[in-house]
Amino acid sequence: MDPGSDRYIRVQMHLKGNFLFVKCVNSSADEASEAPARTERERKEHGYGLAAMRRVAEKCGSILLVERRDGEFEVRSNLCLRREQGEK
């Protein structure tokens, strides 16, 4: 995004029983893509968040929902947490 533009990241997390709902919304330039970086420059300019969240969701037996809309990028998942032995 251009310097000086209205940038933000909003994170919501809710725990209910054995599930953790995670939602992250961030400002995004309209031309941005969720495609993985192809060049060294792109790799340096982009983080690892989406790939990391996909791995976490898969590990928890969940899916990752990714949505792009006007100026925003949203990622959310409902993660099934493991219970400790003896926990009900």
Instruction: Note down the domain range covering 24.
Output: 9-80
Residue 47 belongs to domain with CATH number: 3.30.565.10
In a domain, 3, yes or no: no
In a domain, 23, yes or no: yes
Q: What pLDDT is stored for residue 24 in this prediction?
A: 92
> pLDDT, tens digit, for every residue of 5-36?
788 999 999 999 999 999 999 988 765 455 55
In a domain, 4, yes or no: no
Among 22-36, 49-63, 71-85, the range of highest mean pLDDT:
49-63
Read off the pTM: 0.68
Q: In what order do the strands lie in the sheet with 9-16?
A: 9-16, 19-27, 72-80, 65-69
In a domain, 2, yes or no: no
Question: Which residues are within 8 A (CB) of 62 and not within 5 positions of it... i.e. 6 or more apart?
Answer: 77, 78, 79, 80
Which range among 27-36, 43-52, 78-87 shows the weakest confidence by mean pLDDT? Answer: 27-36
